[in-house]
Amino acid sequence: MAKRILVVEDNDLNRKLFCDVLRSQGYAVEPCADGLEALDRARSFVPNLIIMDIQLPNVSGLDLIEATKADAVLRQIPVLAVTAYAGKGDEERIRDAGAEGYLAKPVSIGPFMAAVKGLVEKAVA
């Protein structure tokens, strides 16, 4: 059975790129453009990995990561944070919120897939 990945990304082009690349590698992908829907989507889709943009409209990706890690059903799911705002201290703040992985945009496909594979292999379920 294909591993499932939830992609939370508000930018249409980035979301399509991530989903297309992941599908080409055999993953089952659920795109989510609205961070406010992300937790409900994660509960219904039950992904093996969540790829989370940090800069989302209406809600911070950091808040969503913290909410995911506080949720009994979702806390075991690894989170790969992807952000265009990679300033000093950002990675530490993102990891402190609970993300297991971190990539700065623009993302190259090689490091992206390496991070995805590493986290999916560690995932429970």
Q: How many structural domains compose the chain?
A: 1
Residue 11: domain span: 4-122
| Chain segment 80-125, per-residue pLDDT in tens | 999 987 778 889 999 999 999 999 999 999 999 999 999 998 775 5
Q: How far apart are CA 1 and CA 16, in angstroms?
A: 22
Q: How far apart are CA 125 and CA 118, in angstroms?
A: 15
- How far is the first Cα of the chain from the last one, in angstroms, to the nearest whole number? 11
| Chain segment 21-61, per-residue pLDDT in tens | 999 999 999 999 999 999 999 999 999 999 999 999 899 99
CB of 7 within 8 A of CB of 31? yes
Share of the chain above pLDDT 70, in %: 98
The CATH number covering residue 54 comes to: 3.40.50.2300
Residue type at 124?
A: V
What pLDDT is attached to residue 124? Answer: 59
Q: Phi first, then psi: what are they for 95, rounded to 5°?
A: -70, -35
What pLDDT is attached to residue 41? Answer: 97
